[in-house]
Amino acid sequence: MRAFLSRLLFLVCSVLFVIPTLAHAADPAWTTPITPFRIADNLYYVGSKDLASYLVVTVKGNILINANLASSPPQIRASVEKLGFRWSDTKILLNSQAHFDHMAGAAAIVRETHAKNMVMDGDVSVVETGARTDFLAPSPNVRNYAPVHVDRVLHDGDTVSLGGVVLVAHKTAGHTRGCTTWTMRMHIPGEPAGTWRNIVIVGGTGFWSEFHFVATPGHPVSYPGIVEDFQHTFATLHALPCDVFLGAHGQYFNMLAKLKHYPKDGPRVFIDPQGYQDYVADAQKTFEQTLSQQQAASGR
């Protein structure tokens, strides 16, 4: 009886986890434009109301983080140009993860700008096959997109440099095999000269019912080492120094609520080290609870 109840609890939790994912697939916030804004001296937000895209401006050209949906490049380009920058100055394209909501627009952006596409190891084959080699494929939650060539394979701790600006790539795998959290140090407008802030752009920590952390009959683990990857991700994120909390989705860092205070307080509204630690702690708790539920359902 106890084993039956454990399996029933696991199935209920699985349903609860899948519903938000399917709802997000049609989330209008993914395609609703928002006025672009400045975050730091060299960093701007050029995404939609929820799908985040960031422009890093340098004297040698610009870096774009996240291409978003296949329909997103015109919106991102309009935001870049509204800020007064040239789309053709995009020299490097980076990403947070290889899912369609962050990577489907990459082929168009590379074609239009000739930017060098740089992707973390673990996500390279997914990007170059248009998600056909994603560990969850085929799945309604993992949509295919136009394949795009990877010019540089990144590894954990690699740096991306352009025009004196340096970004660090942290492999925070689990959500995808090459999910990437980006960090950089920059000055925030309005703060004293010489004050540098640690900026963290979280790649992703979520999962849904299709993620299998424990092997059961007919369902092997999603990929070997996925549990260890998630555990490493949370250890990495907890250890990162963070002043400015950002992410691949605006909802990660409560962007819309913070923007209400932007007209008065400016970019400082994104200084939120406690919010960052709370986000990581909550995500880790959700993972650990689900892992325990799957272990109990499997009889382990």
pLDDT higher than threshold 50 for residue 18: no
Mean of all residue pLDDT scores within the chain: 92
Average pLDDT on 139-157 reads: 96
Task: Specify the pLDDT at position 82.
Answer: 98
pLDDT higher than threshold 80 for residue 9: no
Whole-angstrom distance, CA of residue 155 vs CA of residue 10: 35
CB contact burial 191-223 (16+ within 10 A = b; e otherwise): beeeeebbbbbbbbbbbbbbbbbbeeeeeebbb
Task: Specify the pLDDT at position 300.
Answer: 66
Which structural domain, as residue segments, surrounds residue 271? 2-297
Amino acid making up residue 61: G
Place of tokens 């990403």: 95
The predicted-structure confidence for 22-55, as pLDDT tens digits, reads as follows 334 569 999 999 999 999 999 999 999 999 999 9
Half-sphere exposure of 126 (CA within 13 A, CB side): 26
The predicted-structure confidence for 178-229, as pLDDT tens digits, reads as follows 999 999 999 999 999 999 999 999 999 999 989 999 999 888 999 999 999 9
Average pLDDT on 119-135 reads: 98
Q: How confident is the model at residue 4 (pLDDT cuts 50, 70, 90)?
A: very low
Contacts of 113 (CB under 8 A, 6+ apart): 87, 88, 90, 91, 93
pLDDT higher than threshold 60 for residue 6: no
Average pLDDT on 74-82 reads: 98
Q: How many domains does the chain have?
A: 1
Give the predicted TM-score (pTM) of the model.
Answer: 0.91
Q: What is the CATH number of the domain that holds 202?
A: 3.60.15.10
Neighbours of 248 (CB within 10 A): 31
Neighbours of 247 (CB within 10 A): 21
Q: What is the residue-wise DSSP string for 131-167?
A: TTT-TT-SBTTB--------SEEE-TT-EEEETTEEE
Whole-angstrom distance, CA of residue 285 vs CA of residue 287: 5
Q: Which of 46, 56, 53, 49 is nearest to 78 (CA)?
A: 46
Average pLDDT on 165-176 reads: 98
pLDDT higher than threshold 60 for residue 73: yes
